[in-house]
A and B are shown apart, each in its own frame.
Chain A
Amino acid sequence: MAAYDVVVAGGGNAALCAAIAARSRGASVLVLECAPKAWRGGNSKYTRNIRVAHLDGDAVMPGAYSPQEFLSDLVRVTGKDLDQDLASYVVERSLDLPAWMSDQGIRWQPPLRGTLQLARTNRFFLGGGKALMNAYYRRAESLGIAVRYEAPVVELAFEGERCTGVVVAANGSSERVRAGAVVVATGGFEANIEWLREYWGDRVENYAVRGTAYNDGALLRVLLDLGAEARGNPRGHHAIAVDARSPKFEGGIVTRVDSVPFSIVVNIHGDRFADEGEDLWPMRYATWGGLIGAQPEQMAYSIFDSKVAGNFIGGAYPPLIANTVGELAQKAGLPVLRVEETVGEFNRSIVPGEYDPTRLDGCRTIDLSPPKSNWALPIDTPPYYCYPLIPGITFTYLAVAVDRAARVLRESGRPLENVYAAGEIMAGNILLRGYLAGIGMTIGTVFGVVAGEHAAGVRRG
């Protein structure tokens, strides 16, 4: 039976950070990734940036972003009931991440013109998340870390209180691998439709899963069954509006549709159901997954005209185009008369104002339900456009509790001695709801490194 000091389950950001940290401390390390090599890297391969605190500006991050500011941003989006201790620990340790990551071969992208705003708080990976994961895998290889693909971990083996290794399912049979310590970094359960159905009912059938198809949460379930304490909201998930033509899995960033605030959004009956102009889009985009999910058949249609067509970045699929609203409705398979009525009612209820897509411009409707509070312009200039929308899940919030050493905590409060968790599987300790751009990678990298370092300290039994 193969034996390693540290076995890491998972093949995304948290897993590779744990593996590299453990190997750098001298441990022998095996990474077990359930995806084939071509699909390795989990949701991490779809990311673009990481949020880090820093006391001075540098070539890629202008200005300072203090740990205090980071922490208060985090508390603002997720609420005060986060684990304060772990949250401040992540924020503090994020100070060291750029240097550590650069040492592993990660390259950064200098802020491009017009993006200085986000560059102060977030570091962008040159080439994005897949380039990042490639760099980590290259580093792992040069350090002599063993990596196995198509190797799903299905169980943890125990002798008494001690985890002695893992069970891997491969080619229809199962195989045991002995381990001095195990790091579980297998992400959330967003690709497990059955599990999501428990919380969301049949409607999840119609959702797209934006990230990897391999995060089925199998080990999250195993840990919970072992008595690990659950954290985060099991019903919670981050979902946004994506193009209805998206693939079921792995659509990533480019299926996202950002036309909503410039449009009206109707359901399959041709009725509006929410205020499209409630707030600036970065504040609201993550509510639209849920809003569309509550509509019949989980479908919606964003309709706009040529006046605003250039105001946002398009995605992978071209919009439907027509010269009249009726024709557009027909192309989209919507009830023509009702859509024409909805557009007419909307157009008639607009208060004239000064349209400005860069701020809350107060161009709004009156006596319309639901209202559109900003950026309301009449839809009257052909050609007309439509994007069909469905909800797309980004990630889930249910997590196992961990301590500062990334050890998994049981309901009794006692940790599992030599089982660690890192990444999305424990992010729910810190992020209970809402989202702060780049925080997923911060949590995964900090706790990946911490888990790897501690796991390497445990000698094989």
Chain B
Amino acid sequence: MAEPTSIDGLLAEGQRQIAICNGCRYCEGYCAVFPAMERLPVVGAGDLTYLANLCHDCRACYQACMYAPPHPFGVEIPKLMSEARERSYSEFARPRWFARWFTAGPRAVAALTLAGALVFAFLAWAAGRARGIFAPTESTRTFFDVIPYGLMLVPSLLLTAFLLAVIVWGFIDFQRASRGASHLGARVWLSGLAEVATLRWMRGGGDDCYYPAIERSSPLRRRFHHLTAYGFLAALVSTSLASFYHNVLDLPAPYPVLHPVVLFGLVGGIGMTVGTTGLLWLKARAAPLQARREALLNSSFLVSLNLASTSGLFLLALRDTPAMGALLVLHLGTIVALYVTAPYGKFVHIVYRTAAVLRSAAERAADEAAGGRSAREPAALGRPASTRLP
């Protein structure tokens, strides 16, 4: 596929490839994308966004495609979807002016980590605890001896609010543009969220991802992704629990190793470190079927997560040593970078993918309600979807 130069170019190329898929339909058993294509009489820009975020880049369709290059039809669905996804990330990043001015490349991650660490170092200094960072004394036993609780809490709350606001904003815009289903029944929510939670579409039609090598499928990517995602969740639980213990139960840190806060943090940190390292390792070996910018956003996000979790683990391991103060400041810096870059990087795929999977689940439920045949499926005389005589 030639690199399209404009949104119109990408849409026209998308329509061309999707028309071929719709005439073929050999891949409809792999994922939700192909049945979703079949329901579209005309593919608009919003539809392409929807399809792109429904695609999990498992590459099963690519290895199965007799029209992939060098065939002159040049069908490369994973690449097309990657280009369109990347477009949607920048299109729905809010606020727009901020997003335009700022993208979450590796340099941004590094710069923000550094800036975040400096801010916290400054806060520590302002609170008169600067010595806790580099020259710990007997009295710097806990994190709050380095940075007072309030100074840690307020920035995190602000960052979290920023992240949530930007994400909800993007989600709403995305739903509107991709014509996401607005009224989802409980069943659709349940089945859709279950598909998201299990990474259903990374299993293909029973095959795993053809990743990193196109030649054979492997469950590794799904497993590393699970480790990363559930590791992230566990870390969130740990943080929330910590503030619950601190504020509600009035039991401030540090906690013993077998304490739920520490256990969740430990499990989450290990999961994320192993998961992101694994994903980066696979990525380095993967066939080049991703838009260059999406690949960049992807690695930056993985590196950012990896820095946050790894520094967190070190902090836990070395919290009783003189290195604790410096590690804490560094760790907080990585968290700042993670939170600030999240809405402009690969993190948002969680939001858009969920929205897309929900729309697909709603469409599938509607098909079923309509007696197992989608409204736009051609009549028997034409071609029932799978009847391919030679």
A binding-site residues for B, Cβ under 8 Å = 38-39, 41, 45-49, 107, 109-115, 117-119, 124, 126-131, 134, 138, 210, 238, 247, 250, 252-254, 256, 258, 261-262, 280-282, 285-286, 310-318, 357-359, 375, 394-395, 435, 437, 440
Contact = CB atoms under 8 A, between A and B. Distances in A.
A370 B26 CA distance: 36
A457 B108 CA distance: 67
A115 B23 CA distance: 16
B380 A357 contact: yes
Contacts of B368: 113
A255 to B, nearest CB: 8
Contacts, number: 161
20 contacts: A47-B390, A107-B207, A112-B35, A112-B385, A113-B372, A115-B385, A119-B386, A127-B30, A134-B63, A210-B390, A252-B67, A253-B388, A253-B390, A254-B24, A312-B379, A312-B383, A313-B378, A313-B383, A314-B19, A395-B390
B150 interface: no
* Max chain A Cβ within 10 angstroms of own Cβ: one of B23, B60, B368: B23
Nearest to A317: B19
A117 B384 contact: yes
Nearest to B38: A313
B179 interface: no
A250 B71 contact: yes
A312 B60 CA distance: 27
Given A112-B29, A127-B27, A118 B387 contact: yes
Interface in B360-390: 367-368, 372-373, 376-390
B70 interface: yes
Nearest to A251: B73
A310 B373 CA distance: 15
A435 B384 contact: no
Interface string B199-211: 0000001110000
A113 B26 contact: no
A-B interface, 6 closest residue pairs, ranked by CB to CB distance from nearest: A312-B382, A128-B26, A127-B64, A109-B29, A113-B372, A115-B386
B216 interface: yes
Contacts of A119: 386
B86 interface: no
Contact of B27 (A107, A115, A128, A250): A128
A130 B381 contact: no
B57 interface: no
Interface of B is mostly: loop
A49 B70 CA distance: 24
Q: Which of B206, B215, B381, B384 has the most CB of A within 10 A?
A: B381
Contacts of A210: 390
Contacts of A128: 24, 26-27, 64, 66
A22 B84 CA distance: 47
Contacts of B372: 113-114
B28 interface: yes
A8 B207 CA distance: 29
Interface in B324-380: 367-368, 372-373, 376-380
A358 B26 contact: no
A318 B23 CA distance: 11
A357 B207 contact: no
A316 B367 contact: no
Given A49-B388, A127-B26, A316 B216 contact: no
A131 B382 contact: no
Contacts of B22: 313-314
Contacts of A115: 384-387
A359 B380 CA distance: 8
B20 A316 contact: yes
A364 B280 CA distance: 64
Contacts of B373: 113-114
B386 A118 contact: yes
Given A115-B387, A134-B64, A311-B381, 10 more contacts: A109-B29, A117-B387, A126-B207, A127-B207, A128-B64, A130-B64, A258-B382, A314-B22, A357-B379, A358-B379
Contacts of A247: 72
